[in-house]
Amino acid sequence: MRASQIFIPTLKETPAEAELVSHQLLLRGGFIRRLASGLYTWMPLGLRVLRRVERVVREEMDRSGAQEVLMPVVQPAELWQESGRWEKYGPELLRLKDRHQRDFCLGPTHEEVITDLARREIHSYRQLPVNFYQIQTKFRDEIRPRFGLMRGREFIMKDAYSFHMDHASLEITYQGMYDAYQRTFTRLGLNFRAVEADNGAIGGKRSHEFHVLADSGEDAIVSCNHCDYAANMEKACSPAPAVEQEAWLEAEQVATPGIRSVNGQAKHLGIATRKIVKTVLVLAEDKPYLLLLRGDDSLNLIKAAHALQVEGLRMATPEEAEAATGAPVGFIGPKNLPGSLPVLADLRVLGLRNFSTGANMADLHWVNLNWERDLPRPDAADLREVTAGDACPHCQQGTLYIRRGIEVGHVFQLGQTYSEKMGLSVLDESGRDALVTMGCYGIGVSRVVAAAVEQHFDERGIIWPAALTPFDVGIVAIHARKSPEVAAAAQALHDRLEKAGYSVLLDDRDERPGVQFATMDLIGLPHRVVVSDKVLAQNVWEYRARRATENTLLSEAELMAHLAAGLSGAADQEQQKHQEQAHG
């Protein structure tokens, strides 16, 4: 295709609205345009990239045996009322009324619709297992849409939903989808990581997130430097150390005037922060809970919510903490706490000896407390965020490290949550009603485009992986309007390359070579071939890979061989890089 035939509105300046590199470069390269907050139009170049993502996703879904369907964007409220999410789902669910004042929403996800379809159409164990997927426009009314495609309001998802007679069948499909996701992201040329995630309140047994690794990622993901273990921060854990062996010292109260912080206490008392048990007051639906953590640990609120089996857990304000405990903030502690506040400790707190904590009176702390001797051993669960350097819970040999990731996929065992709420059961082999077990599987198709850019760019622009580039090869015809020979040779090369199966963008615009080169670099095509009077005189082509800094003069046979090797080689390299990372 000639550049004069495709609308590529590049920008010289970085738009002020764009913080993330992907947002900046996708705007500057003319891939997308903003219509309104969180709403983007895919321009011709961007849509080419999106379609390539869709194609790989579709091929791998089909290969996995999933069946493509297409459900409506607009969903009736009745189904969400049945599942209970009409109430629970916050303002991110965009609700609307039709002309008859009936309630609907724009689907942020399709569990309700597919479960409704399944209960109407699936009646026998003989119809199971089955796995439906769609690639479809979704809407989530983000309070502050930002980062371009990364967190837009309208976006494109691949979502799949599987139905099973039992958990064993779900496990097989789950693994099949996990493998399909591995193949998908590998084929897309992304450096990614599958990590264990928590199923949370919704039930089900297993879930994994797929993260594209990028410094700008919103999520922290945890990996072991020795084994395959990887998890997100809500799921990642580290073995609690053994109980300390030091001798019990005598407990006593020590004046700590105005000293409310852990660091302040450690300094004032001359002890390590880990020897301090800090208290954190949290609330779920106005019910308070007291959490205990080591002074050197941080609370993970999602872990706490799961451990307490509550939803919507939040930190208490100082006023709420004092009202719930009767003690001044900074001096709250588990010993002799007035009232009957539920207490939950992090597992590592149980291993402490001779620890310090607040005495529930202003300016007073306990030191040298010990469980059982001075206060009862509380219930405990994993509440802390892991930190880099923690021991691996899986192999016990490696240590954990933390990287940033962009979540682009999620596989999730739903179990029977929706089947129960919406009455999805089938007749089993013995003719009895049996609740159906479900899984769901998402890929953020439009987000993949942004994530790929976050991982593949330099100061000049985007560097598309071979599988995602809008065109395989860019041809720059130098002063083509003045040189009919250049114009003809560039067009002929374009035609030969397209015939050889490459998609080609021929820059035939009446622009200075510097502008042409800058455009090619900005839009990130992997291969660039320059056609000028000079190279024509030498009977060669001037080639440069997008990542290279030098030109190479190649005969056409060499160019063809180079492209063929480059495209397959690029894929191999990406795959190799991924595998190294996966075991790195």
Site residues for a second copy per CB under 8 A: 5-7, 9, 33, 35-36, 39-44, 47, 50, 65, 67-76, 91-92, 94, 96-99, 104, 106, 113, 116-117, 120-121, 127, 130, 132, 137, 139, 141, 143, 153-154
Nearer to a second copy, 45 or 293 (CB): 45
Cβ 30 to a second copy shortest distance, Å: 9
Distance (Å) of CA 7 to CA 23, 481, 505:
19, 19, 12
Cβ 423 to a second copy shortest distance, Å: 17
Amino acid at the residue 207: S
Nearer to a second copy, 156 or 567 (CB): 156
Nearer to a second copy, 9 or 312 (CB): 9
* Alpha-helix runs per DSSP H in 433-483: 445-455
Cβ 12 to a second copy shortest distance, Å: 14
Nearer to a second copy, 70 or 537 (CB): 70
Q: How far is residue 449 CA from its own chain's centroid? A: 13
Nearer to a second copy, 16 or 242 (CB): 16
**Sequence-distant (≥ 6) Cβ neighbours of residue 326 within 8 angstroms:** 338, 339, 360
Q: How far is residue 9 CA from its own chain's centroid? A: 30
Nearer to a second copy, 91 or 338 (CB): 91
- In this structure, the number of other CB atoms found within 10 A of the CB of residue 375 comes to 19
Cβ 247 to a second copy shortest distance, Å: 59
Cβ 142 to a second copy shortest distance, Å: 9
- Give the integer Cα–Cα distance in Å for 537 and 534: 5
Nearer to a second copy, 96 or 201 (CB): 96
DSSP of 133-189: EEEEEEE---SS-BTGGGB-SEEEEEEEEEEESSHHHHHHHHHHHHHHHHHHHHHTT
Nearer to a second copy, 76 or 328 (CB): 76
Cβ 44 to a second copy shortest distance, Å: 5
Cβ 130 to a second copy shortest distance, Å: 6
The pair of three-digit structure tokens given for residue 390, joined into one six-digit string: 């923690």
* Alpha-helix runs per DSSP H in 384-532: 417-422, 445-455, 484-499, 513-523
259-274 burial, b if ≥16 CB within 10 A, otherwise e? beebeebbebbebebb
Could you give the 3-state DSSP secondary structure of residue 509? coil
Cβ 135 to a second copy shortest distance, Å: 10
- C-alpha dihedral over 163, 165, 166, 170, to 10 degrees? -30
Is the separation of the CB atoms in 236 and 229 below 8 Å?
A: no
Nearer to a second copy, 55 or 547 (CB): 55
Cβ 84 to a second copy shortest distance, Å: 19
By CB neighbour count within 10 A (0-12 exposed, 13-18 middle, 19+ buried), where does 433 fall?
exposed
